Amino acid sequence: YARKLLSSHPDRTKSQQNAGKQDLAALFDAIELSWYSKVCSLVTSPGLQINGLNEDGMTPLDVALLLGDTPVARVLQHHGAVESLRYMKDPGVRYQHVLALLQETEINRTNVLSNPCTLSIASDPSDSKSSDTDQKLWKYHRMLSTLKNTVLPGMPQRVSVSVLSSSSIKVECYEPADCKHSLITQYRVQRSSCP
């Protein structure tokens, strides 16, 4: 019934979609500012696509993990946030992507600073493209620093395997005890033919 009601009011649907996009943008801002209480408030917003992408092609969980904000990442994960699939397949892609964003932003900053017309347009320094670019540079440097200082987690604890069918199993495990200040989002499970 609710779906039928929404579809009969296209303005309401567009309004909710716009609100969802605004909430997603606000969520990315709160994550980048490590604003925990705001993140907690926004993740429950109706219409929020918690796995939506930002302009850099990252999910909210990607950004929180790359900024090293474990408490925020845990909240996001609790509400269904996941990492971008391209990062899950090959963790090296994450580093290359952030490095490429950093290099592109540095080039853009050089172009903005070398063009006197661009600098004279902004009367307020906080509104200038240079200031936005500096914030992006800071964010990407922080992400690269987090990646460089990331260490692989230890072995999972209390691993149990249940056979669900002839073609599937269920693996349950708990984070290692020494992993209280970081977040493990995945383990790779490999099949072995050896007993």
Q: What are 10-20's pLDDT values in tens digits?
A: 444 555 455 66
What is residue 52's predicted lDDT score, i.e. its pLDDT? 95
What the block records as the tokens of 45 is 């917003």
User: pTM of the predicted model, to two decimals?
Assistant: 0.70
Q: Quick one: what percent of the chain has pLDDT higher than 90? A: 36
**CB of 27 closer than 8 Å to CB of 52:** no
Burial 67-79 (b: 16+ CB within 10 A, else e): bbbeebbebbbeb
* Between residues 128 and 188, the one the model is more confident about: 188
Distance CA 189, CA 191 (A): 7
Radius of gyration (C-alpha) of the chain in whole angstroms: 21
What is residue 180's predicted lDDT score, i.e. its pLDDT? 59
**CB of 56 closer than 8 Å to CB of 84:** no
pLDDT value at 135 more than 70: yes
Mean pLDDT, rounded, for 12-41: 81
- pLDDT per residue over 41-52, tens digit each? 999 998 899 999
Q: How confident is the model at residue 30 (pLDDT cuts 50, 70, 90)?
A: very high
What is residue 88's predicted lDDT score, i.e. its pLDDT? 74
Residue 23, Cβ neighbours under 10 Å: how many? 21
pLDDT value at 22 more than 50: yes
